[in-house]
C-alpha cells in the first residue's frame, strides 16, 4: 500500500529542536526526515525529495541561506516550499531569506501551532502550483499534437486522393497501377498512425468516473459488428458479476478497441474464427480476457509486440498496442499475453478496482 502522507524534512543542528518537531509532526501524521547540517540536508533532498522543508539558518558546514539558495536555483527542487527558522528576528535577516527564495520565515522561539498552520498553507499552495504546471504541460502537448496532426493529415489526404484518381484513370494491366496502389496503401497506413497519435492525446486528458466494463465491451463490439459478420467470426461472451472500475471510459474503450482489432486481424486466414471475451474479478483486480483462434505469436516475439511500430505477420505496425499498454499502466494495471502457434492468443487486461 502506498503511503500518501506528506514528508517534512527538518534541518537543524540543535538535536532537541529536531526531536521536538519530529514528534509533533508525526503526531499530525506527517512523515519526517532529519538532517543536522546544510550539506546533509542537500544530500537528503536529492536522495528523496520531501514535500516541504523546515530549515534552520545558523548551522555548521553550510548555513540555511546557502541551502535555500541552491534548492531554489535548481529546477528539480525549486517548487519545494521552505520555511526558514532563525534566532534572528531583525528585518534584514527576513529580507535576505525572502530574497533567496524562502517561502516563509519564523523567528525562534516559535509557537508550534502557528508553524503547523503555515506548513498546511504552504503544502496547499504547492499542490495548487503543481496542478497549474501539469495543466500547462498537458495543454502544450494537446496543442502540439493538434497542430502536427493537422499539418500531417492535409498532405496525406492530397497524396491518397490524387493517387486514387490516377489509378482509376489507368487501363487494366497498366504497369504503373501496382506503384499507385502502394502509394494508396501507405497513405492509408499513415492515416491510421495519425489516429493513434490522436489517441495519445486522449491519455493526457481524461475524465474519471465509475465505468461498467461490460457496457464498454458491448459498445466496442458494436463498432466491429459489420466486420465480425463479414468475416464470419463467432463471438462468445462470458460476463461474471463485476463491480464498476474507476477510469476514463474512452481510455478503456481505446484499450479494448485496439486489442479486439488485432484479434480480428489475427484470424484473417483461420478456418475457425472464434473471438472470446470474458470478465471477472480476481482479488482486487478487474480481469478482461480477449482470445482469438488466430495463428498465434512466437514466444520470443510476445514482449516485442508492445514496442512502437513493431510488426509481425499477425500484428501490423502501429501504436495501438503501445497506447493500450500505456493506458493500462497509467491506471496501475498490467497486460499479459498467452499464445500458442497454430491455436491462438489470449490477452489478459488487469485493472485495479477502487475501494476493494
Domain of residue 140, CATH code: 1.10.287
Where do the DSSP E strands lie in the chain? Answer: 7-11, 31-35, 52-56, 82-86, 104-107, 209-211, 234-239, 245-247, 274-282, 285-292, 334-340, 344-352
Helix and strand element counts for the chain (H, E): 10, 12
Amino acid 96: pLDDT: 79
341 and 261 co-located in one domain: yes
**CA proximity to 82, closest of 48, 128, 49:** 49
For CA atoms 44, 45, 51, 55, give the dihedral sign.
positive
Top pLDDT among 141 and 226 is at 226
With respect to residue 98, please indicate whether it lies within any of the assigned structural domains: yes
174 and 228 co-located in one domain: no
Q: Nearest 5°: CA angle at 56, between 51 and 57?
A: 125
Query: Quick one: CA torsion of 87, 92, 93, 96, rounded to 10 degrees?
Result: 170
Taking the complete model, does pTM exceed 0.75, yes or no?
A: no
179 and 259 co-located in one domain: no
Contact 54, 85 (CB under 8 A): yes
Residue with the three cell numbers 501551532 = 113
With respect to residue 1, please indicate whether it lies within any of the assigned structural domains: no
Using only C-alpha atoms, the chain has a radius of gyration, in whole angstroms, of: 29
Structural domain count of the chain: 3
With respect to residue 121, please indicate whether it lies within any of the assigned structural domains: no
Residues 6+ positions from 264 with CB-CB distance below 8 Å: 224, 227, 228, 231, 233, 275, 292
101 and 13 co-located in one domain: yes
With respect to residue 115, please indicate whether it lies within any of the assigned structural domains: no
Residue with the three cell numbers 534584514 = 92
- Own/partner pairs, 40-43, CB within 8 angstroms, 24+ separation: 40/11, 41/9, 41/11, 41/67, 42/67, 42/70, 42/71
With respect to residue 242, please indicate whether it lies within any of the assigned structural domains: yes
Residue with the three cell numbers 535576505 = 96
Last residue in a domain, options 173, 204, 235: 204
193 and 214 co-located in one domain: no
Whats the size of the chain, residue-wise? 356
Last residue in a domain, options 77, 110, 143: 110
Any idea what the CATH number is for the domain that residue 237 is in? 3.30.565.10
With respect to residue 125, please indicate whether it lies within any of the assigned structural domains: no
* CB-neighbour burial class of residue 165 (10 A; exposed 0-12, middle 13-18, buried 19+): exposed
> How many other C-beta atoms are found inside a 10 Å radius of the C-beta of residue 285?
17
Q: Which domain holds residue 299?
A: 209-352
With respect to residue 128, please indicate whether it lies within any of the assigned structural domains: no
pLDDT digits (tens, 9 = 90+) for 174-196: 999 999 999 998 888 888 777 76
pLDDT digits (tens, 9 = 90+) for 123-177: 998 888 877 777 776 667 667 767 777 778 888 889 999 999 999 999 999 999 9
Cα(158)–Cα(318) distance, integer angstroms: 22
Amino acid 338: pLDDT: 92
Cα(121)–Cα(36) distance, integer angstroms: 25
Any idea what the CATH number is for the domain that residue 66 is in? 3.40.50.2300
pLDDT digits (tens, 9 = 90+) for 213-222: 999 999 999 9
Q: Point out the least confidently predicted range of 65-74, 274-283, 308-317, 320-329.
A: 308-317
227 and 345 co-located in one domain: yes
Amino acid 355: pLDDT: 44
Q: Is 333 left (phi over 0), alpha (psi -120 to 50) or beta?
A: beta
If DSSP codes are grouped into helix, strand and coil, which group holds residue 312?
coil
With respect to residue 129, please indicate whether it lies within any of the assigned structural domains: no
218 and 340 co-located in one domain: yes
89 and 27 co-located in one domain: yes
281 has pLDDT over 90? no
Amino acid 204: pLDDT: 60
78 and 100 co-located in one domain: yes
**CA proximity to 295, closest of 316, 321, 265:** 265
pLDDT digits (tens, 9 = 90+) for 306-343: 776 555 544 444 567 888 888 898 888 999 999 988 89
268 and 339 co-located in one domain: yes
329 and 231 co-located in one domain: yes
Cell of 327: 493506458
284 and 159 co-located in one domain: no
Residues 6+ positions from 163 with CB-CB distance below 8 Å: 180, 183, 184, 187
Last residue in a domain, options 78, 110, 142: 110
Amino acid at each position: 500500500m502506498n503511503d500518501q502522507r506528506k514528508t517534512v524534512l527538518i534541518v537543524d543542528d540543535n538535536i532537541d529542536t529536531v526531536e521536538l518537531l519530529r514528534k509533533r509532526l508525526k503526531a499530525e501524521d506527517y512523515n519526517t526526515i532529519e538532517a543536522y547540517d546544510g550539506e546533509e540536508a542537500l544530500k537528503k533532498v536529492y536522495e528523496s525529495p520531501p514535500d516541504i522543508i523546515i530549515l534552520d539558518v545558523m548551522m555548521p558546514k553550510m548555513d540555511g541561506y546557502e541551502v535555500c539558495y541552491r534548492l531554489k536555483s535548481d529546477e528539480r527542487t525549486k517548487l519545494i516550499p521552505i520555511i526558514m527558522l532563525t534566532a534572528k528576528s531583525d528585518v534584514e535577516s527576513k529580507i535576505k531569506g525572502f530574497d533567496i527564495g524562502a517561502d516563509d520565515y519564523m523567528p525562534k522561539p516559535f509557537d508550534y501551532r502557528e508553524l503547523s498552520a503555515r506548513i498546511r498553507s504552504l503544502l496547499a499552495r504547492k499542490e495548487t502550483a503543481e496542478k497549474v504546471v501539469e495543466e500547462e504541460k498537458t495543454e502544450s502537448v494537446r496543442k502540439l499534437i493538434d497542430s502536427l496532426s493537422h499539418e500531417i493529415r492535409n498532405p496525406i489526404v492530397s497524396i491518397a486522393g490524387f493517387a486514387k484518381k490516377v489509378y482509376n484513370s489507368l487501363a487494366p494491366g497498366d504497369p504503373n497501377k501496382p506503384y499507385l496502389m502502394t502509394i494508396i496503401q501507405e497513405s492509408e497506413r499513415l492515416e491510421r498512425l495519425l489516429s493513434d497519435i490522436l489517441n495519445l492525446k486522449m491519455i493526457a486528458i481524461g475524465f474519471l468516473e465509475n465505468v461498467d466494463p461490460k457496457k464498454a465491451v458491448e459498445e466496442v463490439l458494436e463498432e466491429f459488428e459489420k466486420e465480425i459478420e463479414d468475416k464470419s467470426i463467432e463471438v462468445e461472451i462470458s460476463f461474471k458479476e463485476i463491480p464498476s472500475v474507476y477510469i476514463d471510459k474512452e481510455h478503456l474503450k481505446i484499450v479494448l478497441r485496439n486489442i479486439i482489432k488485432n484479434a480480428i486481424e489475427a484470424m484473417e486466414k483461420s478456418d475457425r474464427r472464434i473471438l472470446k471475451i470474458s470478465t471477472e474479478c480476481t482479488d482486487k483486480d478487474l480481469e478482461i480476457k480477449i482470445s482469438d483462434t488466430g495463428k498465434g505469436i512466437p514466444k520470443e516475439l510476445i514482449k516485442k509486440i508492445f514496442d512502437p511500430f513493431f510488426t509481425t505477420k499477425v500484428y501490423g505496425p502501429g501504436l495501438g498496442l503501445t497506447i493500450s499498454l500505456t493506458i493500462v499502466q497509467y491506471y496501475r494495471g498490467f497486460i499479459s499475453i498467452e499464445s500458442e502457434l497454430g491455436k491462438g492468443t489470449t490477452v489478459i487486461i488487469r485493472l485495479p478496482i477502487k475501494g476493494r
